[in-house]
Amino acid sequence: MRLSQYFLPTLKEVPTEAQITSHRLMLRAGMIQQIASGIYTWLPLGLRVLQNVADIIRQEFNQTGALEIIAPTIQPTDIWRESGRDNAYGEETLRMQDRHKRDYLYAPTAEEMVTLIARDYLKSYRDLPKTFYQIHWKFRDEIRPRFGVMRGREFLMKDGYSIDLSEDDAKQSYLKVMHSYIKIFRKMGLTAVPVKADTGPIGGDLSHEFHIVAQTGESGLYYDKRLTDLMQAPHDQVDVDAIMNIYAASDDLHNPDTYHGDTSLLEYARGIEVGHIFYLGTKYTEVLKATITDASGNQIAPHMGCYGIGVSRLVGAIIEACHDDKGIVWPVNVAPYKVGIININNDNTDTQQICGHIYQMLTQQNISVLYDDRDLRGGAKFADMDLIGLPWQIRVGQKGVAKGIVEVVNRKSGDMQELSADQAISFLNTALN
């Protein structure tokens, strides 16, 4: 994408309404536009990140055998009355009536919808296990929306729901999701800490929150260092059982007396909650009468689990975890573009030609590139490129081009290499493919 034809309304000033780093940086980088309190339009750059985050979740969740669906945002209140959850979210539920005066609500989660799938279509133990999920918009009418997309009212969530024959099977599904969450957050370049949690209005008796470590996190986390070592381990064989048994607690639930490990391993960090998983038991299948026939011919209520990830919240949380004083530092897999090309001397035909060549070659290699071909001075382009945080920058100026070199800069480390244009193309192709 050529920046002269793109839409990147960056701001030099720090917006006064934004209290936290990610909110400030998302506004300054032109990622979101506020429409009302807690309600945003996702502008082109922001939407690309949101889609990348969603795609990572979708790919990993599909690999577990989970099946994607889309449930309606507007749901009849009757089914929430039937499940007993009509008032579970209190005033956070956005309610409305249609033209026939029937009651509806904007769904904050989809347990009822998935239980209806089970009730209508899953008849036999042979139909299980099944996990359904959606990546879809939700609305919760927070009394004081704040922190940008970190605590918005309309937000994008991945919500998954497993349906199993027994409690044992359901806990296997729960572990499978834990496994996939560990892979998801690792793929996003984040350190995630799972901690035991309360179940709240969702119900059930087993629950974990996933926090990602960020200095600006809202929660305090105590955990045994072996946990994050395991979570960050580069191999694919994730030992979920081991992870489940290592000490981790949010500060409100932390009790030093229950920690039996080596105290020198007990760490403290700030974290941002980005995922929450629950074993639900038969709460929904019983009350909504979604029974199936087991192998002995008996009608039983299957066991469910539900699994959330705050997709739009993650965009903010990633920025909280990954930024410096110049702006955002995107992990490669979620970056809106992998490479930014800066033409420092925009009216120079040599730099134009080199930039055009690099842009064309990288694009042909399926590497996403944002090429800053605007008529601006180099300093403004450097500042914008640092602000929007693409992992790699290629700086092309007429002095370098005269010597046959361009500068390849790693946004995170700041390391700079002088390479020929073709070396730069080859280097980035190796680094990114």
Asked if residue 15 binds its own copies (CB under 8 A), the reply is no
Binding part of the chain for its own copies, among 44-52, 209-217, 262-270, 317-325 by CB under 8 A, reads: 44-52
Asked if residue 201 binds its own copies (CB under 8 A), the reply is no
Q: What distances in angstroms separate CA 98 from CA 86, 88, 260, one per listed residue?
A: 17, 22, 57
Asked if residue 6 binds its own copies (CB under 8 A), the reply is yes
Please say whether the beta carbons of 421 and 406 come within 8 A: yes
Residue 201 Cβ vs its own copies, minimum distance, rounded to whole Å: 17
Residue 19 Cβ vs its own copies, minimum distance, rounded to whole Å: 20
Q: Pattern of binders to its own copies over 140-169, x per CB under 8 A? A: -x-x---------xx---------------
Residue 68 Cβ vs its own copies, minimum distance, rounded to whole Å: 6
- By C-beta, is 136 or 395 nearer to its own copies? 136
Asked if residue 40 binds its own copies (CB under 8 A), the reply is yes
Q: Would you state the structure tokens that stand for residue 110, as one six-digit string? A: 């989809």
Q: Can you tell me the distance from the alpha carbon of 118 to that of 286, in angstroms, rounded to the nearest whole number?
A: 11
Residue 134's DSSP bridge partners are 159
Residue 92 Cβ vs its own copies, minimum distance, rounded to whole Å: 8
- By C-beta, is 125 or 132 nearer to its own copies? 132
Residue 317: count other Cβ atoms within 10 Å of its Cβ.
Answer: 27
DSSP 433: -
Cα pseudo-dihedral 281, 287, 289, 290, rounded to 10 = -40
Q: Can you tell me the distance from the alpha carbon of 337 to that of 370, in angstroms, rounded to the nearest whole number?
A: 6
Residue 198: count other Cβ atoms within 10 Å of its Cβ.
Answer: 12
Asked if residue 72 binds its own copies (CB under 8 A), the reply is yes
Residue 75 Cβ vs its own copies, minimum distance, rounded to whole Å: 7
Residue 256 Cβ vs its own copies, minimum distance, rounded to whole Å: 40
Asked if residue 36 binds its own copies (CB under 8 A), the reply is yes
The structure tokens 């009730």 sit at 119
Residue 314 Cβ vs its own copies, minimum distance, rounded to whole Å: 15
Residue 371 Cβ vs its own copies, minimum distance, rounded to whole Å: 14
- By C-beta, is 130 or 323 nearer to its own copies? 130
Residue 95 Cβ vs its own copies, minimum distance, rounded to whole Å: 7
Considering only residues 103 to 142 of the shown chain, the ones binding its own copies according to CB under 8 A are 104, 106, 113, 116-117, 120-121, 130, 132, 137, 139, 141
Binding part of the chain for its own copies, among 31-39, 293-301, 317-325, 340-348 by CB under 8 A, reads: 31-39
Please say whether the beta carbons of 2 and 118 come within 8 A: no
Considering only residues 48 to 67 of the shown chain, the ones binding its own copies according to CB under 8 A are 50, 65, 67
Q: Can you tell me the distance from the alpha carbon of 169 to that of 126, in angstroms, rounded to the nearest whole number?
A: 13
Asked if residue 313 binds its own copies (CB under 8 A), the reply is no
Q: Can you tell me the distance from the alpha carbon of 386 to that of 104, in angstroms, rounded to the nearest whole number?
A: 45
Asked if residue 7 binds its own copies (CB under 8 A), the reply is yes
How many residues bind its own copies, per CB under 8 A? 51
Asked if residue 98 binds its own copies (CB under 8 A), the reply is yes
Angle at 365 between CA 359 and CA 367, to 5 degrees: 65
Backbone φ and ψ of 243, nearest 5°: -60, -40
Angle at 184 between CA 229 and CA 27, to 5 degrees: 105
Considering only residues 342 to 401 of the shown chain, the ones binding its own copies according to CB under 8 A are none
Residue 17 CB partners (closer than 8 Å, separation 6+): 34
DSSP 145: -
With CB under 8 A as the contact rule, the residue among 17, 19, 39, 268 that binds its own copies is 39
Question: Given the DSSP bridges, would you call strands 103-106 and 74-76 parallel, antiparallel or unpaired?
Answer: antiparallel
**DSSP-H helix ranges across 247-332:** 283-287, 311-321
Residue 411: count other Cβ atoms within 10 Å of its Cβ.
Answer: 22
- By C-beta, is 27 or 214 nearer to its own copies? 27
With CB under 8 A as the contact rule, the residue among 71, 322, 342, 401 that binds its own copies is 71
Q: What is the largest CA-CA distance in the chain?
A: 81
Cβ burial of 300 (10 Å; 0-12, 13-18, 19+) is middle
Q: Would you state the structure tokens that stand for residue 400, as one six-digit string? A: 């370098």
Residues that bind its own copies (CB under 8 A): 5-7, 9, 30, 33, 35-36, 39-44, 47, 50, 65, 67-76, 79, 91-92, 94-96, 98-99, 102, 104, 106, 113, 116-117, 120-121, 130, 132, 137, 139, 141, 143, 153-154
